[in-house]
């Protein structure tokens, strides 16, 4: 039977553990959308580090199924954003989506033909408690918004509005784990 010692556990939790609240998320938009949204770094109030999934491919040999590594799956990324009264980020995302596929004309905006003309990049950085030190970062390459979430309105709340943005991306990379390079 294993012996229980709280000191053994806490000694393994280097620097007290990483805090989910210490992060930044930078957005660089499509070329036709301007270069970046500076306030996104401050108003993006939640994001997730991506799952890393390699789908299994099943082959059969003499009646026995054998799983072998298949392709890496690119999931979706969701960020949640505080909505300021000028709605600059929401307007920017809605405009970007309109240029990807117009609501009334079902067309992509002119100049949005090459993938790098209509995609941008997102970078999520985990920060250390000492401040300013990046302990882990993910770059989402060829990202574009596929969904701009609803905003609930009610006379019964005084909370700042938030909305979700769902992002599609080509792939992610992380320098710290040398993944995706």
For position 145, which CATH number holds?
2.30.110
Instruction: Specify the DSSP element, H or E, that contains 80.
Output: strand 77-82
Report yes or no: 163 and 152 within 8 Å, Cβ to Cβ. Answer: no
For residue 6, is it within any domain? no
- For residue 181, what pLDDT is reported? 47
Both tokens of 66, joined, read: 């054998």
Query: Which residues is 166 bridged to in the sheet?
Result: 78, 147
Q: What is the mean pLDDT of residues 60-89?
A: 92
Residue 17 class from Cβ within 10 Å (0-12 exposed, 13-18 middle, 19+ buried)?
Answer: exposed
For residue 179, is it within any domain? no
Ranges 15-19, 52-56, 59-63: which has the least confidence: 15-19
- For residue 164, what pLDDT is reported? 96
For residue 10, is it within any domain? no
Q: What is the mean pLDDT of residues 18-46?
A: 81
Q: Does residue 114 register a pLDDT over 80?
A: yes
For residue 84, is it within any domain? yes
For residue 7, is it within any domain? no
Q: What is the mean pLDDT of the chain?
A: 87
For residue 1, is it within any domain? no
For residue 61, is it within any domain? yes
Look-up of token digits 């302990």 = 135
Domain count, the chain: 1
For residue 112, is it within any domain? yes
Q: What is the mean pLDDT of residues 62-85?
A: 92
Residue 142 class from Cβ within 10 Å (0-12 exposed, 13-18 middle, 19+ buried)?
Answer: middle
Query: Which residues is 54 bridged to in the sheet?
Result: 72
Residue 126 is part of which domain span? 19-173
Task: Name the pairing type of β-strands 120-127 and 77-82.
Answer: unpaired
């Amino acid at each position: 039977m294993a012996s229980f010692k709280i000191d053994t556990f806490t000694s393994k939790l280097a620097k007290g553990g990483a805090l989910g609240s210490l992060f930044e998320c930078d957005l660089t938009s499509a070329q036709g959308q301007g270069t970046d949204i500076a306030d996104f770094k401050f108003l993006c109030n939640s994001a997730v580090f991506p799952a890393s999934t390699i789908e299994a491919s099943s082959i059969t040999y003499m009646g026995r199924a054998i799983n072998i590594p298949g392709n890496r799956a690119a999931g979706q990324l969701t960020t949640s954003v505080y909505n300021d009264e000028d709605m600059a980020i929401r307007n920017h995302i809605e405009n970007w989506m309109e240029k990807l596929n117009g609501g009334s004309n079902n067309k992509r905006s002119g100049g949005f033909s090459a993938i790098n003309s209509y995609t941008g990049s997102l970078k999520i950085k985990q920060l250390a408690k000492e401040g300013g030190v990046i302990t882990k970062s993910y770059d989402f390459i060829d990202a574009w918004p596929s969904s701009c979430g609803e905003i609930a309105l009610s006379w019964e709340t005084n909370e700042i509005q938030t909305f979700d943005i769902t992002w599609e991306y080509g792939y992610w990379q992380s320098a710290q784990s040398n993944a995706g390079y």
